[in-house]
Structure 1
């Protein structure tokens, strides 16, 4: 059985890729995951979004632990 990760997409990110949830083969780290997502969903190249691992925003390249919760988040707006 392959080691997979579950990803949830929110807001306009989900709208653009046409999915709110997806499962892909585990990529190891956040940079590899982003590469896989951009190949699978080229529309993401023109969308600003953040990546979160276990509810923490990713800055730079981070390892993705087994069983991690991954989220693709649209830009935040505050008020």
Structure 2
């Protein structure tokens, strides 16, 4: 599984990396928060294979997960 971090999240965890496959996005968040404790206090969106998800999602081998900080635009 490939991990991508953007914005302030990349300052904490680096821009990209690989992780062992976990069952779902909730398990991934827990794992990342143990590895990078500063993530616990931040709000961010999660995208799986370029689609922002809004609930726990099953992960599959070879997927790409991106963590995106809050953004605004106009």
Q: TM-score, normalised by structure 1?
A: 0.87
Q: 1:10 aligns with which of 1, 6, 10?
A: 6
Question: Could you list the runs of 5+ residues in structure 2 that have no partner in the other structure?
Answer: none
Alignment length (residue pairs): 74
RMSD: 1.0
Structure 1 position 22, deviation (Å): 1.5
Question: Could you list the runs of 5+ residues in structure 1 that have no partner in the other structure?
Answer: none
Which portions of structure 1, spanning 4 or more consecutive aligned residues, are displaced by more than 2 angstroms? none
Structure 1 position 60, deviation (Å): 1.1
Q: TM-score, normalised by structure 2?
A: 0.92
Structure 1 position 16, deviation (Å): 2.4
